[in-house]
Amino acid sequence: MNNSKSIFRVSFLLISMSLLFTNCQEKPSNVEGKMTKSTEQSSEKTTIYPSDVIPFFDKWTITLGDGESVRNLVGYEKKDFFYTVNEDGTNWVVYKTPNSGITTKNSSNTRTELGEKRRWTAREGGKLTGTCKVQHVSTSGDARVAASYAVVVGQIHSGTDHKNEPLKIFYKKFPGHTKGSVYWNYEINTLGDNGKRWDFSTAVWGHDMSVVGDAPDSYPKEPEDGIALGEVFSYEVIVTDGIMTLNFSSPGHESKSFTKSLIESAYTKSSDIPQQIRTLYASIGRDGVEKPEAYTGEEQFFKQGAYNQTNGKDPETNMVWSTGSEIYGGDIAKQYANGSYAEVWFSKGTVE
The mean pLDDT of 190-213, rounded to a whole number, is: 97
Domain check: are 126 and 40 in the same one?
A: no
Give the 3-state secondary structure of residue 279.
helix
Give the 3-state secondary structure of residue 175.
coil
Number of domains in the chain: 2
Domain check: are 59 and 103 in the same one?
A: yes
Domain check: are 119 and 230 in the same one?
A: yes
Parallel/antiparallel/unpaired status of strands 126-136 and 111-116: unpaired
- Res 102: pLDDT: 80
Q: CA 235, 210, 192, 323 torsion: positive or negative?
A: negative
Give the 3-state secondary structure of residue 225.
coil
Domain check: are 72 and 177 in the same one?
A: yes
For the chain, the straight-line distance linking the first and the last C-alpha, in angstroms and rounded, comes to 91
Instruction: Tell me the pLDDT tens digit for each residue of 9-44.
Output: 434 444 344 433 344 444 333 333 333 344 344 445
Where in the sequence is the domain holding 204, given as residue range(s)?
50-351
The mean pLDDT of 253-269, rounded to a whole number, is: 98
Does pTM surpass 0.85? yes
Q: What's phi and psi for 192, nearest 5 deg?
A: 85, -130
Give the 3-state secondary structure of residue 9.
helix
Q: DSSP for 171-210, please give it.
A: EE--TT-SEEEEEEEEE--BSS-GGG--EEEEEEES--TT
Domain check: are 177 and 217 in the same one?
A: yes
Domain check: are 264 and 142 in the same one?
A: yes
Domain check: are 13 and 152 in the same one?
A: no
Domain check: are 6 and 66 in the same one?
A: no
Cα–Cα distance list, 306 to 62, 124, 134, 153, 310 (Å) = 11, 26, 9, 5, 11
CA nearest to 95, candidates 151, 15, 44: 151
Q: DSSP for 10-57, please give it.
A: HHHHHHHHHHHHHHHHHHHHHHHHHHHHHHHHHHH-----HHHHSTTG
Domain check: are 202 and 313 in the same one?
A: yes
- Res 98: pLDDT: 98
CATH number for position 326: 2.60.120.200
Domain check: are 56 and 99 in the same one?
A: yes
Domain check: are 153 and 200 in the same one?
A: yes
What whole-number distance in Å separates Cα of residue 209 and Cα of residue 266? 20
- Confidence bin at 105 (pLDDT 50/70/90): low
Domain check: are 85 and 142 in the same one?
A: yes
